[in-house]
Every structure is written in structure tokens, then in C-alpha cells.
Amino acid sequence: MKKSISVILVLCLIFLCGFTKREKPYILLSSGNNTVFADKIRSEHYFQLGQKIYYNLIIPSGVKYEGVRMQLSKQDDKTSNWGFSIILTKDLYLSKTETALKDYLLINQKGHYILQFFYLNNKRYPFAHTEFMVN
């Protein structure tokens, strides 16, 4: 009886402690031309008109599928799609070993924006998103 309880206890410990939770992908935003973003905390969320907005998509475990879609939406009360209008979409192809994607946006309209990334085989749910304002 003691052996079976100890075996069950050991198996429970292996399952609880042996598996680590995978870190989720996230997006960092910056107004400067930073080639290295320090950490999640330093991401900016307020930008000026005409200013380059550098984004860095970090995927710690690498991409699941090679195709990724970047989508930029603007929240606006004048649209019929629940207040959101799509400004830009871009399909990107990355190798499965890449853990970061760096690029920039140039926005010339004030507003509240949402930057999202989807896998091309599942365009319904984003795997990473962030929101920012342009004044």
C-alpha cells in the first residue's frame, strides 16, 4: 500500500513540476529605432502623428506555422463593424526557428489602434495583440 501511494505521489509531482508553462507571444512597441527591446515593461503605447512606430513580435517558443498575418485596425465610431476598421493587413512567412519579427508602421491619422498577429491557418483568433494611441 505504501509503495502504491509513493508511486502515485511521485507521478503527481512529475506532472505538476515537470511541465513548464510555455510563455505566450507578445508585442513590444517603440518610437525609437531600437534594435533590441529591453523587456515587456518598456513598451510604449502613445505616439505622435507621422512618427515611426517600431514593433517587435516576440515568440519565445518559435512560430507554430510558417504563415503569419499582421493586421492593423483602427477603432472608430463611424464604421459599421462594431467600431473597427481594418487599416492594413500583411502576410508574412517566417521559419519555425525564428523567435522575433521586427518592422515599423507609419500612421498619419489620430486614433486608437490595435495591432494583431494571426496564424494563416487560423485567422479567427489572434495569438498576439496590443493597443496604442496616435495623437
In a domain, 2, yes or no: no
Predicted confidence (pLDDT) at residue 49 exceeds the cutoff of 90: yes
In a domain, 86, yes or no: yes
Q: How confident is the model at residue 114 (pLDDT cuts 50, 70, 90)?
A: very high
Query: Which has the higher per-residue pLDDT, 50 or 22?
Result: 50
In a domain, 3, yes or no: no
Condensed to tens digits (0 to 9), the pLDDT of residues 4-39 reads 777 777 666 666 665 666 688 999 998 875 544 555
In a domain, 130, yes or no: yes
In a domain, 109, yes or no: yes
Q: Give the Cα separation of 23 and 25 in Å (integer).
A: 7
**In this structure, what CATH number is given to the domain that contains residue 73?**
2.60.40.1930
Q: In terms of residue numbers, what domain contains 49?
A: 22-134
In a domain, 44, yes or no: yes
Mean pLDDT of the chain: 82
Q: Give the Cα separation of 105 and 103 in Å (integer).
A: 7
In a domain, 16, yes or no: no
pLDDT at 106: 93
**CB neighbourhood size of 101 (10 A):** 19
Give the least confident one: 75-79, 87-91, 109-113: 75-79
Predicted confidence (pLDDT) at residue 84 exceeds the cutoff of 90: no
Strand 67-75 relative to strand 111-119: parallel, antiparallel, unpaired? antiparallel
In a domain, 13, yes or no: no
Query: Which has the higher per-residue pLDDT, 108 or 63?
Result: 108
**Domain count along the chain:** 1
Cell numbers of 66, please? 510558417
